Amino acid sequence: MCGIWAIFGSDDDVAMQCNAAHKITHRGPDAFRLETIHHFPNCALGFHRLAIVDDLAGMQPMRVFKYPHIWLMYNGEIYNHKLLEEQFNFDTSTACDGEVIIHLYAKGGAEYAAKHLDGVFCFVILDTAERRVYVGRDTFGVRPGFKSYIEQKGFLAVCSEAKGLMPLQQIDNNVQITIFPPGHVETYSLDLSGRATYVNTTRFHKIGEPPVYKTLVNPVDDDVDESIRVLLDAAVHKRTMAERRIGCLLSGGLDSSLVAALFVRKAKEIGIKYPIQTFSIGMENSPDLLAARKVAKHLGTEHHEVVMTPDEGIESLKSVIFHLESYDITTIRASVAMYLLSKYINEKTDTRVILSGEGADEVMQGYIYFHKAPSPSEADTESLRLCRDLYMYDVLRGDRSTAAWGLEIRVPFLDHRLTSYFLSLPPEVRQPRDGIEKYLLRAAFDKTGLLPNDILWRPKEAFSDGLSSVKRSWYEILQDHLCDQINEGELEEASSKYPHNTPLTKEALYFRKVFESFYPGRADWIPYFWMPRWTVASDPSARTLKYYKNE
């Protein structure tokens, strides 16, 4: 995980504005560099590095001798960089995965470059010869990106997190800070004084479309189970690209357990020497802790358990909301445990790359409410909607909760080749079957011995639910505590004070107030509260649904 920060066309003291770059120091604790641009003194590029690949030569902003006019900053991982170097015979000067972005841009432009990247990224390319700036973000928005553009001033700013742009309010109280759209590239021109002018926005890839780049592993004809197995295995394999220690978040649920199991197997095949560490968190005797313990024993990992107390969770709320830049209820609930677990990993271990199971529920219809879908077509539509919005919810949670503690999260279930194949299957076969969600995924690994059978077929449980006891959920603990923090009068006035996404509960109002204290007037960063469909529900917790299996 790294952090990028850039400004173009500033009329103010660039040195003063550059202080804002330090708002995202947590994303890259290993090194920091800030550069102004020759002939463009009102432009600056800032980079916080978490060194994962090419420790010696991978620092940014990056330039190479062959293309001295091209400047690159990116946050992400390009898993196919070696394949691209071989395919196009690129003469690279570093072992850094991102250098191929420069060569691809020089060959075919920014959109061409983005189309050929198998990975996750948010990049800024500055071409001083053409006086152009390009910003691009990966298809699912796994890596974050925000921008601020003041047209009348010719001012453009880009940052990995919104908190690095909030100080720009000193330039203009009405400055807009918006989320950069996943799957797109934007182009800006610079005049001779460095001021930016918006040119256009292009979409380079859509969720569900096959990638244009070459892949080493492809689906197996007429064999869905084998195709799922080989594509997920390949997705995990790609994500072993690292010079730092790799571990796994392990809730004991299907998704994280499959990822951990495949990684443990792959680690042996490729000769990783260190013991694989797995990490779980929960309250005493929570379902997740018990299930994760069983999986870890089966896999033979060096397992770490963090027992979370209600007080620790409650005390972390403000920090969690600050890092998330969100007030969504279920996102905050689930992020607390992930935030505390990431803190433990950072402080107690040398693992810096984390594999996790995010994305499977959206792509593979894993949420419990999919049992209520009126038709395969509507379930397919809902799955695609969830995938398109992932960057504002679960993907956001995974990124911010880990980046807050200088870790890099990798999510194999959002691999382009895997997702495009799975979403191409007929809608009726992707639905829950025989009362079991993600049936295709479970069936693909049935009788392989990869996981214990009761784990492979364990019913879905949300992260924020599984970490607490079945008798008293984390959301109930939160609601009981926050009931005393908000009075009835405040709740009655919420609709007039917060017309967008009006908080309807004291818990939601508390979250909103904390969010507004850090990011006043930025409620439009999320379009709606995440809630289940096709059911009468007043709370996003799966434990409030009639379908929930109380075991």
Whether 289 contacts 250, CB under 8 Å: no
Element (H, E) at 428: helix 427-430
The reply to whether 2 belongs to the active site is: yes
Which amino acid, residue 502? T
- Close Cβ partners of 209 (under 8 Å, ≥ 6 residues apart): 420
**Vertex 21: Cα angle to 16 and 25 (nearest 5):** 135
CA 218/CA 484 separation, integer angstroms: 55
- SS3 label, residue 149: strand
Q: Which of 2, 43, 159, 248 is catalytic?
A: 2
Which amino acid, residue 430? R
- Close Cβ partners of 225 (under 8 Å, ≥ 6 residues apart): 440, 443, 444
> Most distant CA pair in the chain: distance in Å?
67
Beta bridge partners of 186: 135, 201
- SS3 label, residue 76: strand
- Backbone φ and ψ for 201, nearest 5 degrees, come out as -125, 135
Kindly list the distances between the CA atom of residue 414 and the CA atoms of 264, 267, 356, 388, in Å, as whole numbers in the listed order.
19, 20, 11, 12
How far out from the chain centre does Cα 328 lie? 15
Query: Cβ atoms within 10 A of the Cβ of 141, count?
Result: 25
One DSSP character per residue, 286-352 reads: -HHHHHHHHHHHHHT-EEEEEE--HHHHHHTHHHHHHHHT---HHHHHHHHHHHHHHHHHHHH--EE
Query: Cβ atoms within 10 A of the Cβ of 8, count?
Result: 24
CA 436/CA 432 separation, integer angstroms: 5
Burial class (CB in 10 A: 0-12, 13-18, 19+), 263: buried
Whether 9 contacts 195, CB under 8 Å: yes
CA 1/CA 408 separation, integer angstroms: 4
CA 304/CA 396 separation, integer angstroms: 24
Whether 281 contacts 464, CB under 8 Å: no
- SS3 label, residue 26: helix
Q: Which residues are marked as active site? A: 2
